[in-house]
Structure 1
Amino acid sequence: MSADLRLVLFDMDGTLVDSQGAITGAMGEAFAAVGQVAPSREAILSIVGLSLDLAIERLTPDMDAATRQALVEGYKSSYTVSRQAAGKAHSPLYPGTADMLAALNAVPEYLLGIATGKSQRGLDAVIAAHDLTCFVTRQSADHHPSKPHPSMIHTAMSETGVAPQHTVMIGDTSFDIDMGRAAGVTTIAVPWGYHQVEQLNADHTLENFAQLAPLLQRIWKA
């Protein structure tokens, strides 16, 4: 483990990109395709961050397995089609995200990474759409148990050689913060995402991304 390097991990949906319209739209089309009424917007956003299979299961506890699997496949198909049609407008960056990432990436000892409930294909598409080449470790739902299991963070720390006390996890949902807590890293919540920030009980809370660099300096006493 390096004593000098610092690892800054971000969730994607609801933290770096505003994908709520894309998610609720794809979910609505998936439910319609199996002849079902989609859950409310609030219910759909409440499961953002979980792996897709688990998210669908949470939304449909009484549904049979075959229909549930059709929902999973329908969501994937709808989301992909809409992403290809809309490009970067499909999941736009939140205000200040690009400047914040550029500033942190310019700090030599900072390593940036992603820990997301997205599939690898979905993650790669967002990174390509917004030219987010700054992430040196990219953990997705395809290769890990669903959040809040700490596997994504453990793997990111292993890949970068950074210790837990030198790692932060930044997210907008309880799944992100609980994952960070389970991994033994410092947690930072953002209030513009999909869960009520007051209920997350993170170690720190941002009001905007301009506050992140000074906060990291205080956390690591740089």
Structure 2
Amino acid sequence: MKLVLFDCDGTLVDSAGLIHETMRRTFVQFSKPEPDVADTKAIIGLTLDIAIARMQGKEHADEEAVAMMAYYKSLFSIVRQDLDFREPLFPGIRALIEEIGPREDLLIGAVTGKSRRGLNLVMETHGFDRYFVVGRTADDCPSKPHPAMVTECCDETGMKPADTLVIGDAVYDMQMAKAAGAKAIGVSWGYASVDELHRAGADAVVHHPREILAHIG
């Protein structure tokens, strides 16, 4: 039995456009310079208040970052209603989840910097809620790369970190996995480079969802 934990943004769904547009409008509302897309992609995966602080060169979230986070959350669903800012699955993800979802030797979960509401929306939109049995979000745990998202999923399912794979596109995912004692599998179709994933501790980097099957076994 293995536990397979997927990051969401940049791994399952391509949400960069949606996140960046919401972030851009948030920064404008608070009279901040509009961020570049690259700046937004660099923080995807972090808890939102910390992400906003990092985009302004701050190490920790202050009161302004918390206020900006609240505004971002209030705006997110409005931006998402625009057809140009949906969160489509990356090619090959649906086939992978539908293949491994029914397997009796696997448990599947999510570890994401999204809110619980955001994760539930993705799961329901794409019909994955019947396969994902566990999940931790920014509402539940400290921000990545803290290992709590992984260790709490392990505790809930009765699995050991050594029998757990964390699959993600960000350096924070790799660092979180290694801190928890889990195997870290990077994906190249997300928002970090292959070199960045390796430097962050990835045990392997895959270039198509089907390649994940070889690491699951």
TM-score between both structures, scaled by the size of structure 1: 0.90
- The counterpart of 1:136, out of the listed 104, 126, 133, is 133
Cα distance, 1:84 vs structure 2: 3.9
Q: RMSD of the alignment, in Å?
A: 1.8
Is the partner of 2:139 in helix, strand or coil?
A: helix
Match of 1:16, SS? coil
Query: In structure 2, what is the Cα distance between the partners aligned to 1:161 and 1:36?
Result: 46
Q: Indicate the SS of the match to 1:103.
A: helix
> Residues 171 and 177 of structure 1 are in contact (CA less than 8 Å); yes or no, is this contact kept in structure 2?
yes
Name the CA distance, whole Å, in 1 between partners of 2:146 and 2:164: 16
Indicate the residue corresponding to 1:145 in structure 2. Answer: 142
- SS state of the match for residue 141, structure 1? coil
Number of residue-to-residue matches in the alignment: 212
1:220 aligned residue: none
Residue 164 of structure 2 is aligned to residue 162 of structure 1 = no
Equivalent residue number for residue 211 of structure 2: 211
Report how far residue 85 of structure 1 moved. Answer: 4.6
* Cα displacement string for residues 7-27 of structure 1 (whole angstroms, at most 9, x for unaligned residues): 000000000000000011001
8 Å CA contact 2:110–2:134 kept in 1: the answer is: yes
DSSP 3-state at the match of 1:169? strand
- C-alpha displacement of 1:90: 1.1
What CA distance in whole angstroms lies between the structure 1 residues aligned with 2:53 and 2:17?
A: 21
Provide the rounded CA distance (Å) in 1 between the counterparts of 2:44 and 2:61: 22
1:144-203 per-residue CA deviation (whole Å, 9 max, x = no partner) reads: 000000000001111111112211000000100000000001110000111112121200
In 2, the alpha carbon distance for the partners of 1:168 and 1:112 equals 10
* Aligned residue runs from structure 1 range 80-159, under 5 A: 80-86=77-83, 90-133=86-129, 134-159=131-156
Residue 193 (structure 1) aligned to one of 190, 200, 204: 190
Aligned equivalent of 1:43: 39
Counterparts of 1:64 and 1:149 in 2: how far apart (Å)?
A: 16
For the residues of structure 2 that align with 1:110 and 1:90, how far apart are their CA atoms? 29
Match of 1:172 among 169, 173, 182: 169
| Residues 30 and 111 of structure 1: CA distance in aligned 2, closer, same or farther (over 3 Å) | same
Supply the AA of the counterpart residue of 2:113: G
Please tell me whether the aligned partners of residues 137 and 149 of structure 2 are also in contact (alpha carbons under 8 angstroms). Answer: yes
CA distance in 2, matches of 1:72, 1:193: 23
TM-score (norm 2): 0.92
Aligned pairs (5 A) from 1:13-32: 13-32=9-28
Name 2:68's counterpart in structure 1.
71
In 2, distance between residues paired with 1:14 and 1:28? 18
| 5+ residue gaps, structure 1 | 218-222
Any conservation in 1 of the 2:24–2:34 contact (CA below 8 Å)? yes
State the AA in 2 paired with 1:105.
G
Secondary structure at 2:108 match in 1:
strand
Letter in 1 for 2:34: A
1:78-118 Cα offsets, whole Å, 9 max, x none, are 2121224549x611000011110011112211000000000
